[in-house]
């Protein structure tokens, strides 16, 4: 009887631990990976923008340097957002 209980608990642990590894059948693996990568890139770019704003507010960046960096970072963020929109549209369609 104890063996059956241990076996049942072990099976439950395997199911719970392996759940993140299983994907939905209707979601292509490549599209999910691309979407995840773009979302990570978006968050990283937002973090870079916030860091530049903080550096400017603390005086580590001059106004001219900040404007150039901010413009570049926001342009890159917009490109990421467009790619994210395209990827989400492809995945939904």
Residue 1 lies in a domain: no
Q: Say if CB 35 and CB 86 are below 8 A apart.
A: no
User: What is the widest separation between alpha-carbon atoms in the chain?
Assistant: 75
Let me know if residue 26 belongs to a domain: no
In a domain, 49, yes or no: yes
- The answer to whether residue 18 sits within a structural domain is no
Domain total in the chain: 1
Do the domain assignments include residue 13? no
Instruction: Express each pLDDT in 35-85 by its tens digit.
Output: 999 999 999 999 999 999 999 999 999 999 999 999 999 999 999 999 999
Whether residue 4 is contained in a domain is answered as no
Q: Tell me the residue range of the domain where 60 lies.
A: 32-93
Query: What does the DSSP assignment read for the chain?
Result: -HHHHHHHHHHHHHHHHHGGG---TTS-HHHHHHHHHHHHHHHHHHHHHHHHHHHHHTTSS-HHHHHHHHHHHHHHHHHHHHHHHHHHHHHH-
For residue 19, pLDDT beyond 60: yes
Would residue 85 count as lying in a domain? yes
Q: Is residue 90 part of a domain?
A: yes
Comparing C-alpha atoms, which of 75, 92, 89, 80 is closest to residue 37?
A: 80
């Amino acid at each position: 009887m104890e063996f059956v209980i241990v076996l049942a608990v072990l099976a439950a642990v395997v199911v719970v631990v392996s759940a993140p590894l299983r994907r939905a059948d209707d979601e292509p693996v490549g599209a999910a990976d691309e979407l995840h990568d773009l979302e990570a890139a978006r968050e990283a770019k937002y973090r870079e923008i916030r860091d530049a704003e903080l550096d400017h507010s603390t005086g580590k960046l001059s106004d001219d340097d900040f404007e150039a960096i901010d413009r570049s970072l926001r342009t890159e963020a917009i490109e990421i957002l467009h790619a994210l929109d395209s990827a989400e549209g492809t995945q939904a369609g």
